[in-house]
Each structure stands twice: as C-alpha cells, then as structure tokens.
C-alpha cells in the first residue's frame, strides 16, 4: 500500500508567482490535512478536507492561500503571489476516518523556497 504522495518535493518560486502543491492520500483514505512547518518550528495545522468539501480551514491565512480536494485527483494547496515568508515545508497527511484518535499518515512534504 503506497503511502501519502506529495509532489513536487522541492519547489522554487520568485516573489509574486503562484505555487501549487499536490497531495495524493493513501489508498482508501478520504480525509486530508495540510500542515506547514516553518524553519526551527513544529508543524502548524492549516486545513482539513474531505472529498469535495473543506471541513476546517481555521489555520489557513485569510489571503492568497486556498485548498481543494476534488472528487477525482489529488488535493491541491495553492498559494498565490508568494512572498518570502511562505518559504517552509508543507506536509500533507491522510486518514481513513475522521475519528479523533485516528492516526494521520504523513507524506514526505514539499519544501517551498521563495526567492
């Protein structure tokens, strides 16, 4: 059973460009979570999605950031007009159910560098 897949693994963008990060959950998982890890910090929750629905986006910045998880295809985290402060590692996790004690399985992350 393949794990959570994320691509690209590394992404370089110039200020003002758009960044698109993709996440394919584990087979059979319909719950996806995005986290951001700034340098020297722990992971911070951004958004929780189920297929075609955003369930909790309380950790998402109000502007420039959006996420989707379409019926077909991977989940996408989109950052418009990137700034240097967006440089971070972005991790996607998935779980088979929404139970609070359920394990979240993490992908390898996308490391975004904004020049």
Partner 1 sequence: AQSVTQLGSHVSVSEGALVLLRCNYSSSVPPYLFWYVQYPNQGLQLLLKYTTGATLVKGINGFEAEFKKSETSFHLTKPSAHMSDAAEYFCAVSKSGSARQLTFGSGTQLTVLP
Verify binding: residue 58, partner 1, rule CB under 8 A. yes
Closest CA to 89 of 19, 13, 9, 24: 9
Give the one residue of 44, 52, 70, 83 binding partner 1; rule: CB under 8 A.
Answer: 44
Q: Which is nearer to partner 1, 17 or 96 (CB)?
A: 96
Verify binding: residue 109, partner 1, rule CB under 8 A. yes
Verify binding: residue 4, partner 1, rule CB under 8 A. yes
> Which of the ranges 14-22, 39-47, 64-72, 76-84 carries the binding residues for partner 1, by CB under 8 A?
39-47
> Which of the ranges 12-20, 38-46, 61-69, 78-86 carries the binding residues for partner 1, by CB under 8 A?
38-46
CA terminus-to-terminus distance, the chain: 37
- Listing DSSP states for the chain in one string gives ----EEE-SEEEE-TT--EEEEEEPPTT--EEEEEEE-TTS-EEEEEEEETTEEEE-TTS-SSSEEEE--SSS-EEEEE-S--GGG-EEEEEEEESS--TTPPPEE---EEEEE-
Q: Which is nearer to partner 1, 13 or 36 (CB)?
A: 36
Residues in contact with partner 1 by the rule CB under 8 A: 4, 6, 31, 33, 35, 41-45, 48, 55-56, 58-59, 91, 93, 98, 100-101, 103-109, 111
């Amino acid at each position: 059973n393949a794990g959570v897949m994320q691509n690209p693994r590394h992404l370089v963008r110039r200020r003002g460009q758009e960044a698109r990060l993709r996440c394919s959950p584990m087979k059979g998982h319909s719950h996806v979570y995005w986290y951001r890890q700034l340098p020297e910090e722990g992971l911070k929750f951004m958004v929780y999605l189920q297929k075609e629905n955003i369930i909790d986006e309380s950790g998402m910045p109000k502007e420039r950031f959006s996420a989707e998880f379409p019926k077909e295809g991977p989940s996408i985290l989109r950052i418009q007009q990137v700034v240097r402060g967006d440089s971070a590692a972005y991790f996607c996790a998935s779980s088979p159910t929404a139970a609070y004690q359920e394990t979240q399985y993490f992908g390898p992350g996308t490391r975004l560098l904004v020049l």
